[in-house]
Amino acid sequence: MPEIRPLRPSDPDRVGRWRLVGVLGSGGQGTVYKAAGEDGREVAVKLLHGHLSGDDTISRGFLREAEAARRVAAFCTAAVLDVGTAGDQPYIVSEYIAGETLQQVVRSAGPRAGGALDRLAISTLTALAAIHQAGIVHRDFKPGNVLIGPEGPIVIDFGIAKALDATTMTSGVVGTPTYMSPEQFEGLRVGPASDVFGWAGTMVFAATGRPPFAGETVPAILNAVLTGAPDLSGVPARLAEVLRDCFAKDPAARPLPLDLMRRLTSRPGAATAVPPPHLGAPGPGRAAAPPPGLAPPGGVPSSPGTPPIAARTTPPGQGPAPGPSASHPAGGAPGTGQPAHAAPGTRQPADGRRGTAPGGPGQPAVMRPRQAGRGDVETSPGGGVKRVSRRAMLSAGAAALATAAVSAFVVFRPGGGTGRQSLAQNRPPSPAGTGTATASVSPSPARTPATEPFGTLIGEPARLPAGTGTPAAMATSGSAVACGTSDGSVLLRDLSTATNAELGDGGAGTAALAHGRHGGTPVIVSGHADGGMRLWSPSGERLGTRKAGDPIVAVTVAGGRVIAVSQKYDSLRDLHGTVRLWDAGTGKQIGPTSTEHFQGINGLAFGRLDGDDVLVTGDGANRVRVRRLATGAVTHTYKTGEVGGIERLACGEVDGEPVLVSTHLDATLRVYDLATGKRRKKWPFSDRSPDDRGTAALVAGMLDGVPVAVVAYTPHGADAFVGVRRLDDGAIVGEFGHGAGGGIRLLALAEQSGRPVVVTVGEDRLVRVWSLGPS
C-alpha cells in the first residue's frame, strides 16, 4: 500500500471541492494528495507547484493536456474526474487506486518473471495504445508511472509531461533520463514512438531490476541512450527480441503498441517465423498491409492468384495459422450468393444483448486504379441472411477526419436516384467534406429491388491499391465513391459497374473530399494537409488548384461555390485553433478568421438552418458554433454544458426541425435543437458505457420515415461495428459489421443499383458495401 504522509502546515486543507487528507508524493511537477469528496469518494489530487503555475503558458498547457487526458479509456488508466484552478495553481483530480508503483514493487519484491511479466507487458501496452488513440503522448513512461493496483497494472500521469515539455524546451527537457528517448534528449519533436522507447525500458527494469542504459551521471546516460545498445541480459529471450526493436535510435523504426501486442500474444516462435504485422496506423515508410500468409477475411487462405496489397515476404501458408482475430474474423462459406442464417456480424436486437454471428466475406477484389477506358474489376454477390422487410430512405453522409467528423445532407428516394436534382432546385444541400453532392457524377441506373436483408455484406470487398497510403477521407455521390489517402491519392470507384479510376497524383495527405457541381460541371473536391484545394472532373482531369495557408479539414459544395475549412492547431503549442473559410474556386478567404476554438475543432458538420447553408463546429470546451457559409459570420453559439467532450457532429431533422446530433467522450449519443442549443435527447451507447466510448463516423438520416443516427462504433478492446439508432426514442434498429476489417476508419452512404447502402473502409484497406434492407 502507498505511504500516506500527514499534511504539512504549508499544505492546503482543500483544493476545489475536494478535502485533502494526506500527501501521496511530490515531484518536479507538483504534489499529489489523497483527498475525499463530499460523498466520501477517495481521489488523488495533483496540484501544480506554485513556482510553475506563475507562468500562464505552463498553467494553460497543464489544464489543456489534463482535459485531453479525459479521452483515454478508463479501464487502463486512473480516470480523470475533475480539472480546475485553486487560486493560481491548476490541479487535476483522478480516481484513487490503492497500490504501489512498479518501481516500488520491484525494489521490495524483486523482478517480475513468467506470467506476471507477460501480463504486465500486455496490460501496459494496452494502456499505451489507448493513450495514443486519444491523441496524447505520455512522454514520461517509466516504472514510477506504472501503478500495480488491485485489479492489475495501470498507467498514471499521462499527458502532464507533454504539457510542461511543450513550454519549457528552451530551459530543459522534462522526463526521467534513464527512460527518455533519443529525440527527447536532442530536443526534437516527440511522438508516440518515444513512449514505446520508454515502455521498453520499463519492461527491462521489470524483468531485471535495473534500467536498460547504465550511467552514474546524466551526461553518461545521455551518451548511452544516443550511441549505445541497451543491456538486455537477464530479460527472457522472447521478450528481449521484441524489446530490441523498441530501442531503435530512429523513431520511425520502432514498432507500434498494437504491433507489439500482436507479437507478444502470438504462439511461441511466431515472432521469428514471420515479420511482425502492422495492426495500427502505419508509421513513416510503412504500408498498411495484413500479415503475409494470413487468411483474408472469411478465412480463405491466400493463394498465388490472390492479388496482394504489398510484396509477399513469406510464401503462402507459412505465416501464423489462420484463425479468428480482430483483423480476420472467422467466416463461413463466402461468395456463395446463397442465404445464410445471419449476415456477417449482423445484430437485430431483441433481448438487449450484443452478439456476432458467424460468417464473413469472401476473397476481396483489388481496387486497381485505371485511367478512363482501362480495365475494370468485377465483384461477385455475397451471401444472404434471414429476410427482414425494410424500405430505406436515408438523408446524410459522413466520414471521420483526423480532427473532425463531417456530416452532410442527401436524400435517397424510394423510386430511385438520390433526389439531389430536385433538392438543388428548391434549396442548396449541404454535402459533406467527406462527401455528398447536388448531382450524381453519372446518371443513376434503374432501381433494382434490394434482396439483401439489413446489415448484409453486398458482394466482395474491394482492396485499395498498394502504395497509396492510409485511407483518410471518403465522399459519395450516387454510386460513385471517392477515397482519399494519406499520400494525397484520390481513388474513385463506381459501385454499380465496379470500375475504378485514380484522380489524385500523390503529394500532401488528403484530409477531406466532396462531390458537387461547380460552374455547371460535376466536380470532385479534395482538401489536403498542406492547404491544397483541388478540383477534379470525374474522369480524372484536374480542373483547378488553390492553396490556403493552413491544413484543410473539410470541404463542401454549396450555393454554387466550393468551400473549404482550414485549421491551424498544434496540440503541443496552441491553446486555440485558428479556423478560416475559403472559396476553393478563387482561393479567397470567406469572412473573418476565428481564433475561439479551445483545443481546436472537435466535431464538424454542414447543414441547413433558416434557409442558409451553415457550418457547425464544436471545440474542447464543449462549445458549438454555427456559421453561415455565404458570409463566414458566426450566427450563434451555445455549450452542451455537460461532462463528456464533443467527439462528432452531424446535422439532421426530427419532427421537421433542424437538429444537431452528436457523440461524446462519455459514450453518449445526443440530440440538440440546432437553432437554440436545447438538448432534446441523450442515450448511452450501451449498458457498458462509458467503457465502450469511441466512434469513427456519424451520420444523421431517415429510415422508414423515422430519424436515425448511423454510427461507426470503435470501442477500445472490442470489435468495431456499425449501429443504427432511432433519434425519437433511442431504440436500436440494428448493428452489423462486427470486427470487419479490424476496425472502421471511414463510413459514408451511397447508392448501388439505385438503392441506398453503407460503405465502410477498414484498417485492412478493404472497401465494403452493406445493405440497409430489402425494398
User: pLDDT tens-digit profile of 307-354?
Assistant: 222 222 233 233 333 332 322 222 222 222 222 333 334 444 433 333
Of the listed ranges 193-202, 429-438, 560-569, 650-659, the one predicted with least confidence = 429-438
Reported pTM: 0.55
The pLDDT of residue 50 is 80
What is the pLDDT at residue 366?
45
How far apart, in whole angstroms, are the C-alpha atoms of residue 175 and residue 358?
A: 48
Q: Write down the residue that cell numbers 437553432 correspond to.
A: 675
Lowest mean pLDDT among 138-142, 366-370, 499-503: 366-370
Q: What is the mean pLDDT of the chain?
A: 73
Q: Which residue has the cell 458554433?
A: 625
Q: Name which residue leads in pLDDT, 99 or 581.
A: 581
Q: Indicate the range of 110-114, 237-241, 275-279 predicted with least confidence.
A: 275-279
Are 553 and 404 in contact, with CB atoms under 8 Å apart?
yes
Task: Indicate whether 150 pLDDT > 50.
Answer: yes
Length of the chain: 775
CATH superfamily of 14-95: Phosphorylase Kinase; domain 1 (3.30.200.20)
| Cell numbers representing residue 218 in the block | 546524466
465 confidence band (pLDDT: 50, 70, 90) = confident
Cell numbers given for 254: 520502432
CB atoms inside a 10 Å sphere around CB 130: 23
| Mean pLDDT of the 595-617 span | 93
d(CA 8, CA 761): 57
Which of the following is catalytic: 140, 195, 550, 666?
Answer: 140
Higher per-residue pLDDT: 454 or 84: 454
pLDDT of residue 78: 77
Catalytic site includes residue 140: yes
Q: Is 60 exceeded by the pLDDT of residue 419?
A: no
3-state secondary structure of 154: strand
Q: According to the model, what pLDDT value does residue 340 have?
A: 30
* CATH 3.30.70.360 describes domain 395-771: no
Pairing of strands 365-366, 462-463: parallel
275 pLDDT above the threshold of 70: no
**pLDDT tens, residue by residue, 17-40:** 899 999 988 776 678 999 998 888
Q: Backbone phi, then psi, for 238, in 5-degree steps?
A: -65, -40
Question: Residue 196: CA atoms inside 13 Å, Cβ hemisphere, count?
Answer: 27
Backbone CA torsion sign across 196, 198, 203, 208: positive
CA distance 126 to 72: 11
Res 718: pLDDT: 78
Q: Identify the CA nearest to 2 among candidates 103, 152, 118, 135.
A: 103
Q: List the alpha helices (DSSP H) in 474-612.
A: none
Q: What is the mean pLDDT of residues 455-467?
A: 88
Chain centroid offset of residue 238 CA: 31
**Domain extents in the chain:** 14-95, 107-273, 395-771
Closest residue by Cα to residue 474 from 303, 708, 697: 697
In tens, the pLDDT along 365-382 reads: 444 333 333 233 222 333
Q: pLDDT digits over 705-753, tens only? A: 889 999 999 887 678 899 999 999 999 989 999 887 778 889 988 888 8
**For 610-631, how does the pLDDT look when each residue is reduced to its tens digit (9 = 90+)?**
999 999 999 988 899 999 999 9
Nearest Cα to 19, choosing from 100, 77, 99, 96? 96
**Runs of H (alpha helix) within 212-303:** 218-227, 237-246, 257-265, 270-273
Answer with the residue of higher pLDDT: 549 or 187. Answer: 549
Residue 637 in this model has a pLDDT that exceeds 90: yes
Domain 107-273, CATH: 1.10.510.10
**Given a cut of 80, is residue 247 above it in pLDDT?**
yes
Q: What is the pLDDT of residue 1?
A: 57
Task: Give the per-residue pLDDT at 125.
Answer: 92
* Number of neighbouring beta carbons within 10 Å of residue 321: 11
Q: Is the pLDDT of residue 767 over 50?
A: yes
- The number of C-alpha atoms within 13 Å of 490 and in the hemisphere containing its C-beta is 34
Cα separation, 657 vs 679, whole angstroms = 13
